[in-house]
Structure 1
């Protein structure tokens, strides 16, 4: 079912959120999600996995939160724009002109399972996920199979929506950039009903897109609503709905040349405004997400919750790669892959029974749950699904529009992931906690390919596995926690890319293991410092250059140190800093081409630092700046070439004042102020160029 934005907005007006959660004092009580008070770079709680409503210092894994205040200070509207503030995050395969394909610690964040809405619904990251209606973006690093089933151990990216708070909200903002892009955003929130027992938060966005790249144009929009209803003292209901769409020109990727004597020569980094594709090559996608949650408090110690959600994304795409080029003349081929009416949908249900039991001197905070998730995709066949044009890297030609038709062929895939889990957080003493969980999963996949003549090919896979997780935490004080954790997981190994000989095929699931030890400290006025050592072993994949088949390639190991520091150091200075130092290695001795090599697109060092300083002698004025470093990365698993490391800067200023009786804020942000040319991404088997300088101005008023 597809609903256009006006229909979605009208639907939400008649729908009735509050939630129940366990807190550290072991009492079951209501938790009201409100807009964060301005000025905080530090999150008081996360909403991801079995750690919902838990303070980050009490999570025995690396967890990073990018709060609304950080997003506003940076004027961030994309996932990568938010996640560049966390260690080990890089773009993968694509350069981000259409949507953000992301890897964490060198491991791809799977686009249909690792992105979650409000800790629950797996949304489909194949169209830019808007941030205007999000309160914070969270990353739970590493394996998370206990709560989320079969997903890669890169981490879960959780998007927490804004909700109506006690203070009414009516904000209107207008943003423009130097290339003519313009976006209007309305944010409205109110509580109403008997004793304000209902709340509604609505966000509307409409924009014209331009990122400064040649042959680029498009638009996007968002309509969202978050509804809360405290029906009785024991029963509450929450509902979220989003519709967003984006239609923009997609830049061509640069394919790798064949290796000569085991080495690949990369072309000089093109000017960052270059686009070898035609402006007509639109990436046209839209998404609908629906998520409902009911909480019921049984007594002072126990409660139940039920969640149901549905996510759908459809897209048309004219993806192109520049290939077979001459490095001296720039002459080569632009190969265009056409897809039409691709559809992806996720249906998700969760039931959970949670509460407290005391056995002797030990307090158990228990969760018993069942979850089922069904993911389906369909890709219709297109006549002449690929065309090739002559093109020049140094002097691009105009590519004329092409038309395509359907053949009757199609490929479809269905994933059914069910699981029963138990999680116990045991308070052994005032300082010691033991956390233990186990999941019994049932995973089934079906790949169906239907040729134009009706010939059907079906590939099935079924796995039933039990995966444990264990952690111990020691808190010598409320402001310090030390922990060690071990997590096993099962993951979907990946899906073959469009340019592979086995395009869109789902690979068999594989096991992963993660070990982590770390420490967290509350420091300064309101900030959290984290340091952790992690060791992850998981399956690797490989696109064979001889057969062009994408498949499994034994194990890979990722180990290293990760650090982060976010929050307010004092009333004037806020920071968001992170760093990663890692060793990564492919370990399949049967593949001599990759054995002992670094996985593709995996930097072994990353770092970020963003700081904002509020001037005391000019009330309302703040200045900010950021530096984002990514180390060198291999272009393929054979390490036949590397793209260089780079550092990109950002600059910003905000000024808040009152004009008449209207609170008003003026903001100026400059990303990549030096207009640096650099390769921003690699892998499967492409390189992509980073975005040009963007100067963005915003005016916001609170009405």
Structure 2
């Protein structure tokens, strides 16, 4: 037993600021709502909701799945986008305002304005999300949500369809929006780690034609071209098509080579008044070299990290290190309106992703910055076959109205790895000197089926309207699950299967006013068992699935000039880590308690101010090791803010500035090594004008304008230098 645990628990009880902050936040939210209700005189100035769903490929829609139609004629959408739809899997698609979980939606326009090029930047304004990513590398999609890592095998979707995201950087210029569900998604989506789920929504054909061309530059020498074409055609414009193509190539900020080709196609048809069909495809290839390698601290004994170096250095990487990826996704679906209040939607998808990696891991040896360079080279591939069918509709039982979702899903995922991969220790180097080692390799290594995972599930949810203000949600997913691993000869080496896995959810919602929702929710989830990495003493072992639980109390409110959200949460997750014998074990629990709050307000005609803050208390419990220690990767405090200003004397010109502070973060479960806190600041400018009768948009952004150097947590025991100052420019013309 860890004898430090009682003392740590006593200090946590005596000095836990989260409960006080939670009380203050919710009291302030209720006071603000009451004040607004008084000012509005009780008038309803809210988006109205219509339970008649619109299909994924319907004319004029861009929903991720068949969705609840939302109109907002009297209330413009705020920067928090609370009236925007968010895909909630087995709950169907709802607005953020009516989803009893914490969510974030980032629009494609915002992505373009900020010139986003990695996932951590997408959610720069959300203090619950911590960036653990380096651009142009296999780590480019690593983020933590509420201190929890996101599941690269089950935590990412495109238009509601799963794909393997590891090493994949999305074509952000081809997205309509990015949706984030924070916390457990077990009921909504099946087995997944409890950090959250990201859904990328691609651009779809709308009612208006689109013909646009934009060209961009990103330091030190990346040039890009993007074309966006959309049309409706046929009788009554019953068919729609949208094509996006991007070409980007050149030198990255750390002197690497980068070449990307991305194309996405969306087709839809309103065949009859009640029947809609759609087909979507996305294809992308990326070839990159020179990316910064990860730094492993598992055998590092000093109590503080070495002096920070710039993430823009090319001393750690070299042109022989490379990451080549390919992503393919094809999906098709049908939606039929059975009756005014009932619809049926079915869709299927096939995704395939592949990686060819030649990548170093630098094992940090001492505070002087010496490291051992170990090079890994191999090919990896994944396939995901997915089908879902779902009925959505309304029924009445006495005075109660029920919004029902009933459906089933099937998912089969396979993972292929090199049958002969290279792992060589190249020698000893130093962080502050050019890496002297080179290992050039080709691609096309032979792969074998290393593992497969199959999930078959049925789900049902009922949102019962008790009164005009109160509603109760209850849902249940029933899953049959199997996971297998294989040797290079095809022999099964380990297996786990379980039928009848039940993951429930429940929520109570109260409409304080039409635009304000208070909620209390509970959800359970299971995540697939880890296949232990070969670097650990029990490498190759298959661990059992872990169960997690989440309790959340929240409020969401959206008004004409301001919007706000807040949530108090507790997540209990089974803990997994490497113990002192270098054995990767499941032992005890990791506990996450926190509060998050965000808001946005329009000041006058020109100013928009938004902010977000997260306070997080985490610890390991009930295990044989590390009891009472903070959980690795979970900062105690994160704050983000953004200000935009529309220049009154230069119509069309908007200036912006944003900043994010990430607090001190534990690097490893032992609790004896931290990254230190850091503040990043970005600025930007957007100018809209007309030239020669065409709309023209000019954009500029500078990320990390102070060129702050900082150590960034990537994954348990891993760190990397953060990205340097980066300048991005873009010019777009609409024809």
How far is the alpha carbon of 1:388 from its aligned partner?
1.7
Match of 1:297 among 326, 337, 342: 337
Which deviations, in whole Å up to 9, do the C-alpha atoms of 1:247-290 show, x marking residues without a partner? 21231222216354xx5442111233224122121111110011
Between the aligned partners of 1:179 and 1:574, the Cα distance in structure 2 is 32
Which deviations, in whole Å up to 9, do the C-alpha atoms of 1:667-697 show, x marking residues without a partner? 1110011111101224332211101111111
SS at the partner of 1:127? coil
How far is the alpha carbon of 1:93 from its aligned partner?
7.6
SS at the partner of 2:376? strand
Between the aligned partners of 1:350 and 1:687, the Cα distance in structure 2 is 39
Match of 2:700 among 668, 680, 684: 668
Match of 1:203 among 240, 244, 259: 244
Contact 2:59-2:268 within 8 A present in 1 as well: no
Judging changes above 3 Å, is the alpha-carbon distance between structure 1 residues 439 and 669 closer, same or farther for their aligned structure 2 residues? same
Between the aligned partners of 2:212 and 2:444, the Cα distance in structure 1 is 45
Corresponding residue for 1:463? 498
Contact 2:59-2:239 within 8 A present in 1 as well: no
Corresponding residue for 2:200? 159
Which deviations, in whole Å up to 9, do the C-alpha atoms of 1:142-175 show, x marking residues without a partner? 1111120011111111111111112211111111
SS at the partner of 1:643? coil
Match of 2:186 among 132, 136, 145: 145
Contact 1:41-1:70 within 8 A present in 2 as well: no
Q: Is residue 528 of structure 1 aligned with residue 563 of structure 2?
A: yes
Contact 2:206-2:230 within 8 A present in 1 as well: yes
Contact 2:295-2:362 within 8 A present in 1 as well: yes
Match of 2:514 among 463, 467, 478: 478
Question: Which stretch has the larger CA shift, 618-627 or 75-84?
Answer: 75-84
Between the aligned partners of 2:435 and 2:187, the Cα distance in structure 1 is 52
Mapping of residues 438-587 of structure 1, within 5 Å: 438-450=476-488, 454=489, 456=491, 458-464=493-499, 465-497=501-533, 499-502=535-538, 506-525=542-561, 527-547=562-582, 549-566=583-600, 571-587=605-621
Q: Is residue 402 of structure 1 aligned with residue 440 of structure 2?
A: yes
Judging changes above 3 Å, is the alpha-carbon distance between structure 1 residues 681 and 153 closer, same or farther for their aligned structure 2 residues? same
Corresponding residue for 1:120? 161
Aligned residues: CA RMSD: 2.5
SS at the partner of 1:132? helix
SS at the partner of 1:385? strand
SS at the partner of 1:616? coil
How far is the alpha carbon of 1:501 from its aligned partner?
4.5
Relative to the length of structure 1, the TM-score reads 0.90
Corresponding residue for 1:107? 148
Mapping of residues 314-333 of structure 1, within 5 Å: 314-323=354-363, 325-328=365-368, 330-333=369-372
Corresponding residue for 1:657? 689
Match of 1:425 among 463, 477, 491: 463
Corresponding residue for 1:224? 264
Corresponding residue for 1:177? 218
How far is the alpha carbon of 1:470 from its aligned partner?
0.5
Judging changes above 3 Å, is the alpha-carbon distance between structure 1 residues 507 and 88 closer, same or farther for their aligned structure 2 residues? farther
Judging changes above 3 Å, is the alpha-carbon distance between structure 1 residues 139 and 369 closer, same or farther for their aligned structure 2 residues? same
Between the aligned partners of 1:671 and 1:155, the Cα distance in structure 2 is 26
Corresponding residue for 1:369? 407
Corresponding residue for 1:589? 623
Judging changes above 3 Å, is the alpha-carbon distance between structure 1 residues 365 and 506 closer, same or farther for their aligned structure 2 residues? same
Q: Is residue 46 of structure 1 aligned with residue 85 of structure 2?
A: yes
Contact 2:384-2:412 within 8 A present in 1 as well: yes
Corresponding residue for 1:268? 307
How far is the alpha carbon of 1:551 from its aligned partner?
3.1
How far is the alpha carbon of 1:528 from its aligned partner?
2.9
Q: Is residue 286 of structure 1 aligned with residue 320 of structure 2?
A: no
SS at the partner of 1:624? strand
Relative to the length of structure 2, the TM-score reads 0.86
Q: Is residue 359 of structure 1 aligned with residue 397 of structure 2?
A: yes
How far is the alpha carbon of 1:617 from its aligned partner?
1.6
Contact 1:40-1:568 within 8 A present in 2 as well: no
Between the aligned partners of 1:495 and 1:137, the Cα distance in structure 2 is 29
Match of 2:288 among 232, 248, 262: 248
Judging changes above 3 Å, is the alpha-carbon distance between structure 1 residues 121 and 192 closer, same or farther for their aligned structure 2 residues? farther
Which deviations, in whole Å up to 9, do the C-alpha atoms of 1:562-592 show, x marking residues without a partner? 112257566533344321111111113322x
Between the aligned partners of 2:214 and 2:602, the Cα distance in structure 1 is 26
Judging changes above 3 Å, is the alpha-carbon distance between structure 1 residues 257 and 508 closer, same or farther for their aligned structure 2 residues? closer
Between the aligned partners of 1:410 and 1:460, the Cα distance in structure 2 is 17
Which deviations, in whole Å up to 9, do the C-alpha atoms of 1:200-244 show, x marking residues without a partner? 111100101543114x22211210011111111111012211011
Between the aligned partners of 1:97 and 1:318, the Cα distance in structure 2 is 11
Which deviations, in whole Å up to 9, do the C-alpha atoms of 1:458-507 show, x marking residues without a partner? 10101231121110111031121111011111112444446445556553
Between the aligned partners of 1:324 and 1:693, the Cα distance in structure 2 is 25
Q: Is residue 633 of structure 1 aligned with residue 669 of structure 2?
A: no
SS at the partner of 2:273? coil
Contact 1:213-1:692 within 8 A present in 2 as well: no
Which deviations, in whole Å up to 9, do the C-alpha atoms of 1:116-156 show, x marking residues without a partner? 12233345343112211111111111111112001111111
Match of 1:388 among 426, 435, 459: 426
Between the aligned partners of 1:326 and 1:627, the Cα distance in structure 2 is 33
Judging changes above 3 Å, is the alpha-carbon distance between structure 1 residues 185 and 409 closer, same or farther for their aligned structure 2 residues? closer
Contact 1:385-1:404 within 8 A present in 2 as well: no
Which deviations, in whole Å up to 9, do the C-alpha atoms of 1:642-666 show, x marking residues without a partner? 0011110000111111111121111
Judging changes above 3 Å, is the alpha-carbon distance between structure 1 residues 156 and 575 closer, same or farther for their aligned structure 2 residues? farther
Structure 1 gaps of 5+ residues are 1-22
Q: Is residue 334 of structure 1 aligned with residue 369 of structure 2?
A: no
Between the aligned partners of 1:634 and 1:29, the Cα distance in structure 2 is 46
